[in-house]
Structure 1
Amino acid sequence: MAALFEAYITNLGKYNEGEVVGETLKFPTTTEEVQALLKRIGVDGVRYEEFFITSFDGDVLGLYDYLTEYENLDELNHLACLLSKLDQSDLEKFEAVIDCGGHTSSVADLINLTQNLDCYEFYPDIENEEDLGRHFTEDLPIPDELKDYFDYEAYGRDISINEGGHFAPGGYIVQTSGDFKELYRDTKDIPAEHRVFSYPKLSIREQMAAYKEIIDGSSLEGYRKLSNKEREER
């Protein structure tokens, strides 16, 4: 699966000590890749338990403008997995919506947007009001001798204002349906195959211990033996 964006993961403890130790993580990713990266940058769950994201980069235009240093890796991976399933036209539509600032207040918003793109219409390669006016007059019965006198820019401007459209770098985007559904609410809604942390209620120390048992071929018997109350408190 091709990487869509990447984050530079930094050891927070070492950063506070004046040393920048980090590495780039490409999304979508896997539990094994995250565990190995954390180990390489010294987040061992013993002395160093925390990390943060120094920067983002990637091929999804404008996406990293809406991501912050303490984003949840499970949510980021879920977003990347959903984006990877979009065809090129829907990916361009996603980029156009976020360019106008729609549904960008959190990763949860972005996740929901990937699942509601049918609420939008995207017109690629329409860069301005004149392009928009020409596009919507193609089927109008305007006599050829009058076409040079028609004010396409003014017509396109009226269309854009009336329907609340937006000119994005890749084209023109407009919301055509108000049936936007909040399908994702929090990390409990992330499917297991999209998670990078198998047990989201565990601390980094407990996560690293669990990963070590997996790598060593051991079972997670210790975790399974916890009472339900103890699990809920974690």
Structure 2
Amino acid sequence: MDKQSRNRLPEQCLFMNANGEIMRIEYGKPGFSRSELNTENRKANQVIVNSYNEKHGITAEQVDTMHQGALFGWNVPQLSQQEHSGMEGGRIFEVEISRPGSFGAETSSTLKLPATPYQILDALDKARITDKRVIYSTKIIGCELDYLPQFIGTNANLYELNHLTERLSSLNEWELDCFEGMVMMDTIRTQYSPIAIDRLINMTHSMKDCHVVYEAHNDSTLGKFYADNDFVPELENVPDEIYECLDFGKIGKEMREGEGGVFTPHGYVVQNGEISQTYHSGDAVPLEKPDYTVLLRITKGYFNDPQYDNNLVAFLKLPADDEMLSQAVEAVKAASPEECVFSAADCMIPSLTEKIEDSLYESEGDRYGLVNELAQQLRHIKEENGVLTYKAMLETTPADISLEDALDLAFLTGEFEILSETASPADYAEKEVQRMMSFESDDGLEQFCNLEGYGRYLMEKYGIAETPYGLLEQQNGRTVEQCLNRPSQSHGMEMK
């Protein structure tokens, strides 16, 4: 695996464990191994670790990321740290996903980016993109950076768009100003042609050679800035009375054209280096679906003690056993789970993420245990191909459904069937009429039937619910709401 696909992480790094031993982490491999550089002297080991990592340009942040990967897996999503972002709210794009043809027009879905892996899969489910062979389009319908959509091609990959927004949401205001300048420079050079997504992503890695002159908005102010700050050697010894008569507009124009800079609404931007080649086309497209059903973000509680508090973050993939939980607690240097703050980072059923979050913050009972039990049942649903059915079931429930009720319903997916290729009551009526009359085609059917009205009549008669994932059909004569009113059952089911 090359450096680009590793998101700039090193092939290996060193760290010192709690016993003072030098441990090696290799990218992509689980766990740690003792380094051959280990000695019996703890202080010497620390010097060796620091020297090795510094020599290879490995930062403390990269070591922490490698440590997380070795403990919890290398495909945990790198969720954007919005507290360092210049983008308020962190949502940069809103996109519309649709299949071609009339059916796709009825089932298109919208998604705000950046999104978690399961939020993306959920939007594809709503758009009925349930097979990799189904062609679909992604159209940007909203953007916080209003200048950007016009320069992105119509064939942009959804996952690469998401990666671009993850990168943008991690940039501070100065970096975003640099990015806008680089986009403008590129479009001028190419006469406003679309910019490839991989190049846009690489622009977000190319700030080190960027400069922004905020006080310069035209050639005159740019020329004055360069002259005043001794960037024009020929003017260093010019007398003051002549200096005031200089044509700063001409100076600024020559400087701008010579270095290829541009004026943006924020000022003058110039990039004096090459655009990075950190990202290669296709790197952001996942090979597999996430290997968790719920992903928790874990931090240490705040105890108002500078010597005990820290900013460490760990991710825990559920379902998890006690050992995995202990490793996550140890990773944030907490003494026990009770010292930790748990939050929901992602869930196979996105509509449950907020409920999981609320449940984790409740103080009574074993809230983590409930969430882990739900994660176990979600894995079972996934293995039984019941995910779409369960999502559709939840769509028919009240908004204030509890997490306990959601867990109850997770055991009843076998009582329903999702008709994902049926987009509307009219579609359902058409299929029913064809089935009853043995029609081989629907020629002229709409001329003689009010399919929409007949479809709604049939759906009400048979208790069929309309959801974003398709029509939800009962199998045993009970609606989802009726299922919720049944007596609670014990969930001692052990998952394989």
Alignment of 1:16-165 (within 5 A): 19-45=105-131, 49-101=134-186, 105-140=195-230, 143-165=239-261
Q: Deviations over 1:154-193 (max 9, x none)?
A: 1111211222222233221222224x43111132x33xxx
What TM-score results when the alignment is normalised by the length of structure 1?
Answer: 0.71
**Aligned mate of 1:12, from 97, 100, 109:** 100
Correspondence for 1:199: 288
Alignment of 1:162-201 (within 5 A): 162-178=258-274, 180-187=275-282, 189-190=283-284, 197=286, 199=288
- Identity rate, percent: 24
Q: Tell whether the 8 Å contact from 1:56 to 1:67 is kept in structure 2 after alignment.
A: no
- Distance change >3 Å, CA 215–CA 106, structure 1 → 2: farther
- Distance change >3 Å, CA 56–CA 66, structure 1 → 2: farther
Distance in structure 2 (CA, Å) of the matches to 1:55 and 1:215: 35
Asked which structure has the greater RCO (Cα within 8 Å, sep 6+), the reply is 1
- Distance change >3 Å, CA 31–CA 154, structure 1 → 2: same
Q: Deviations over 1:112-152 (max 9, x none)?
A: 11111212222224211001011112245665544542211
* AA of the residue aligned to 1:85: S
State the shift of 1:94 in Å. Answer: 0.2
DSSP 3-state at the match of 1:9: strand
Distance in structure 1 (CA, Å) of the matches to 2:93 and 2:182: 18
- Distance change >3 Å, CA 42–CA 219, structure 1 → 2: closer
* AA of the residue aligned to 1:111: I
Q: Tell whether the 8 Å contact from 1:6 to 1:56 is kept in structure 2 after alignment.
A: yes
- Distance change >3 Å, CA 107–CA 156, structure 1 → 2: same
State the shift of 1:219 in Å. Answer: 8.5
Q: Tell whether the 8 Å contact from 2:202 to 2:279 is kept in structure 1 after alignment.
A: yes
- Distance change >3 Å, CA 215–CA 130, structure 1 → 2: farther
Once superposed, what is the RMSD of the aligned Cα atoms? 3.3
Q: Tell whether the 8 Å contact from 2:138 to 2:158 is kept in structure 1 after alignment.
A: no
State the shift of 1:3 in Å. Answer: 0.5
State the shift of 1:55 in Å. Answer: 3.2
Gaps of 5+ in 2: 1-81, 83-89, 231-235, 290-347, 350-375, 385-496
Q: Tell whether the 8 Å contact from 2:185 to 2:261 is kept in structure 1 after alignment.
A: no
* Greater Rg by CA: 2
* AA of the residue aligned to 1:113: M
Q: Tell whether the 8 Å contact from 1:126 to 1:132 is kept in structure 2 after alignment.
A: yes
DSSP 3-state at the match of 1:132: helix
State the shift of 1:36 in Å. Answer: 2.2
Q: Tell whether the 8 Å contact from 1:127 to 1:168 is kept in structure 2 after alignment.
A: yes
In the alignment of these two chains, the number of paired residues is 202
* AA of the residue aligned to 1:81: E
- Distance change >3 Å, CA 217–CA 155, structure 1 → 2: same
